Amino acid sequence: MQEIEITEKVNTRIDSYLATLLSMSRSKIAKMLKENYILVNDKEVKASYELQIGDNITILEYVEEEMSAEPEEMDLDIVYEDDDVMVVNKANGVVVHPAVGNNHGTLVNGLLFHSKNLSSVNGEFRPGIVHRIDAYTTGLLMIAKNDQAHQFLAEQLSNKTTKRKYQAIVWGVIPHDTATIDAPIGRDESDRKKMTVTSKNSKQAVTHFRVLKRFKSATLIECELETGRTHQIRVHMNYIGYPIVNDPVYGKRKLLDDSGQCLHAKTIGFVHPRTKEYMEFDSELPKCFLNIERYFEEE
């Protein structure tokens, strides 16, 4: 880790300043800023941030690994496909797109093998990817097969007009039948890999949920997302004291097995980019989810 204090006026953006100081390209500095390897006063900033006297720049250790997104044959569960969109039911443990340290076996690798037509809006490592779910969250994802479809679907996500319903099993017996959690989510300052409910550098996050079934020590719920923040359901449910069962990061409860958090993206609905007709898709709960549900039923 390296720390730099701005003690005099520099009149420049952080990317230009650090590119000169560290003999790096501005694009690499911008990438490090985006991935939170560079912070100013322990906060995220954009590459265009104008440095001020008194700013403290923290540069975390950054090991750059050559990445690639290569086609790989994969058994994809394709729920729907046409010339513009796909709906894929993502399996447990599958990462959505390549990242440093994980170039292979992702959903993108499988999509590239399946189709030569994927949108390029999110760059070469995220072709077709309009939105994401965690590796150990199962369920439905929209995939765009061209840039026009991507932009149309992304606008619906931004305007909160898509329907996204999840089912989850949480620790504890929730007494209320329905509730809405409206609490902003941002990066956890004590652990940059985690998200948390915070007023600092956060974005609005709204989750609606209703109880489907109560067990002796857990509750089966349905969640509907109004916003789509990183780890939103996991963070929100932990915040109100009912963490997702089997979540290895949030909640600090015992793990029943190693299959990942008991969270499934069950339903997705959107307006088709070409026909302008509303489409909705549903998926069955996966075995890993049903096994945990059975555990609580037999308590």
As a residue count, the chain comes to: 299
259 and 295 Cβ atoms separated by less than 8 Å: no
- Which is the catalytic residue, given 134, 147, 182, 188? 134
Instruction: Classify residue 14 by burial, with Cβ atoms within 10 Å: 0-12, 13-18, 19+.
Output: buried
Bridge pairing between strands 38-40 and 2-5: unpaired
CA distance 20 to 29: 10
248 and 254 in contact (C-beta within 8 Å)? Answer: no
Cα separation, 136 vs 168, in Å, equals 12
Give the chain's count of helices (H) and strands (E): 6, 15
Is 83 annotated as catalytic? no
The encoded tokens of residue 258 equal 């190693």
Six token digits for residue 247: 């979540």
How are strands ordered across the β-sheet holding 56-59?
A: 2-5, 56-59, 38-40
| DSSP strand pairing (138-144 vs 263-271) | parallel
| 8-state DSSP, 234 | H
Whole-number Cα distances in Å, 47 to 44, 121, 275: 10, 20, 39
- Which residues are part of the catalytic machinery? 134
